[in-house]
Structure 1
Amino acid sequence: MRPRIIAVGKVKKGWIQQGIQEYWKRLPELSITEIKDSTPAKEAQKVRSLLQSQDRVIVLSEWGKGYTSVEFADFIRQAGATPLAFIIGGPDGFGEEMRSQADHLISLSPMTFTHEMARLFLVEQLYRAKAILNNTGYHK
């Protein structure tokens, strides 16, 4: 598993950044790329420019499929060696065009979170998926 996150905007809240850093230390294979806030159309264009042809593109969306942590780990396992690119929009989200170009839409929850919180929750769930797949005991 070599996931990467492409996220619109910077994490401004220190406590959220600390949480992300904590899980990132435990998941060194993860890469995170931040792109500058702009209009949703320009953000989508920048995201597309960062994607590679072999990437499985996964956009976080309120319209996405929800997973339990175990189901999410299985989703990661099924991807095998395919590079996973998780895309997190900015405060205004993405338009239909970006969602329609995704290989998968996933939802972290039926609730709505800030893009900063979504990043923290995604990093934690990626670490949890690794722990589930490696049976390390983090997930109980």
Structure 2
Amino acid sequence: MNLSRIRILTVGKTRKKWIRDGIDLYLKRLPGITITQLRDGTPKREEQNILSALNTNETLIALTEEAIPLTSKEFAEKIKDLGPSRLAFAIGGADGLTVKLKESASLNLSLSPMTFPHEIAQLILLEQIYRAQTILRGGPYHRE
């Protein structure tokens, strides 16, 4: 899995140190992944910020609690199926992502039917990307 093709667009800053430490741990394990923090505001403003930050060669994946959740193995296969495409995972602010962003995304992904703050969603997403990488490589991190 080419990790340099993955970017996380997130609305708001990561303020809690314990979450930042976890994010930093996974970023060390996943060299090449970048996180772009965007300014929060109204849902419409956040939508504009995400669309402006999105590169034309990136496939948008919207994180939303309404999507059908995937197992870790299904998530790994989905990333594999997207091939060499550059991926941009979008995590919204307190009000989530707009309908327009969800409809324009190539994939809507749910980490859980529960709602998480954007900071925790980043950490969970990074852990699942790491898990997907080990699944695809046949490593021991993921257990049945």
TM-score band by shorter chain is over 0.9
Which amino acid in 2 is paired with 1:68?
A: T
Q: How does 1:1-140 map to 2 (within 5 A)?
A: 1=2, 2-140=5-143
Q: Give % identity.
A: 46
Moved over 4 A (4+): none
User: Which residues of structure 2 form unaligned runs of 5+?
Assistant: none
State the distance in 2 between where 1:16 and 1:76 align: 25
Aligned residues: 140
Cα distance in 2 for residues equivalent to 1:130 and 1:112: 25
Q: Give the letter aligned to residue 41 of structure 2.
A: S
CA distance in 2, matches of 1:126, 1:7: 16
Deviation at 1:65, TM superposition (A): 2.2
| Stretches of structure 1 lacking an aligned partner (at least 5 in a row) | none
Q: What is the deviation of 1:102?
A: 0.9
Displacement of 1:13 after TM fit? 0.7
| TM-score normalised by L of structure 1 | 0.96
Q: Whole-Å Cα distance in 2 between the matches of residues 95 and 80 of structure 1?
A: 27
How far residue 53 of structure 1 moved from its aligned partner, in angstroms, is: 2.1
Secondary structure at the counterpart of residue 85 of structure 1: strand
Q: Distance in 2 between matches of 1:78 and 1:98?
A: 22
TM-score by length of 2: 0.93
**1:72 CA displacement:** 0.3
1:48-101 Cα deviation digits (max 9, x unpaired): 111122211100001112100000000011111101110000111122111111
